[in-house]
Amino acid sequence: MAPMLSYAQGEATNQLDSKGQKTGKWIVHDEDGNKHYSGVFENGHPVGILTRFYPDGVVKATMDYDSTGREVVARLFDENGKLRASGLYVDRLKEGKWTYLGTNGKPVIEVNYKTDKIDGPGIRYYSNGAVMEKTTWLNGSMHGLQELFDEEGIKTTEIFYRDNKMDGAYLVLYPNARVAIKGRYKNNVKDGKWVYYFENGNEDYSLEYSNGKLMNPELLDQRQQAVFDRYEKNKSVVKDPTMYLMDPASYFRK
């Protein structure tokens, strides 16, 4: 639906200059009469703060434009008026640090963008503010070290990624920081020797993989299989790190 123009009593609004470009104050409503956005324009582009609204009048976003109209500091709100995200657009593309907030007002995700793609460090938080995970991104893909932490701030896991796939060293740690599991991934599957340790640091057993295939399954007796299953179950508790970081806004769309 095309937005409808509005004219505020007592002042000229929704004007065009001699070139047919928007100028001065604009207040635009949708076809149902609900305010759509309001702001000031120069030479056809907004300057200063442009405000967008939900149909019920709650502020949806404030967009603070620079004098060129290219750079915009954005603040995005949910339908209850709570701030849920803030960051910078350059030429309509996300750039630099963006912060996504939970309903409690605390950060959920902090991530960096380069021309609208995640690039650089990313952090996800528990609801208590403790760091849940730290990730490294390159051109929109996880690439480098991912570190996972429990709610007490103790590191539990280290994983290396290449182009969004696990590729490289994989470590699971006990609360005392000793290694629980040490292995490697190659192109997202287990490869090479995987060693499982007791909490005192002594080796429990080891498994040998080749391109994801277990080469010594005979070592997995009933006790070892139970331990192995427990490790795998705990691993699955950690959500796919790309679930929200590829589209952080989906966190509060659910």
pLDDT tens track of the chain, all 254 residues?
Answer: 444 444 445 568 999 999 999 999 999 999 999 999 999 999 999 999 999 999 999 999 999 999 888 999 999 999 999 999 999 999 999 999 999 999 999 999 999 999 999 999 999 999 999 999 999 999 999 999 999 999 999 999 999 999 999 999 999 999 999 999 999 999 999 999 999 999 999 998 899 999 999 888 877 665 566 666 766 666 544 444 444 444 544 444 44
Per the structure block, which two tokens stand in for 151? 């709610």
The answer to whether residue 179 is domain-embedded is: no
The predicted structure's pLDDT at residue 227: 66
Residues 6+ apart with CB under 8 A from 59: 51, 52, 53, 77, 81
Alpha-carbon span 149 to 172, nearest angstrom:
11
The answer to whether residue 149 is domain-embedded is: no
> Domain limits at 44?
1-81
The predicted structure's pLDDT at residue 205: 87
Four-CA torsion 162, 165, 169, 172, nearest 10 degrees = 140
- pTM as predicted: 0.79
Q: Nearest CA to 244 among 84, 128, 90?
A: 84
The answer to whether residue 211 is domain-embedded is: no
The answer to whether residue 174 is domain-embedded is: no
The answer to whether residue 116 is domain-embedded is: no
Number of domains making up the chain: 1
Question: In the block, which residue shows the tokens 């103790």?
Answer: 154
The answer to whether residue 222 is domain-embedded is: no
Residues 6+ apart with CB under 8 A from 232: none
Q: Residue 110: phi, psi to the nearest 5?
A: -125, 125
The predicted structure's pLDDT at residue 233: 65
The answer to whether residue 40 is domain-embedded is: yes
The answer to whether residue 58 is domain-embedded is: yes
The predicted structure's pLDDT at residue 217: 81
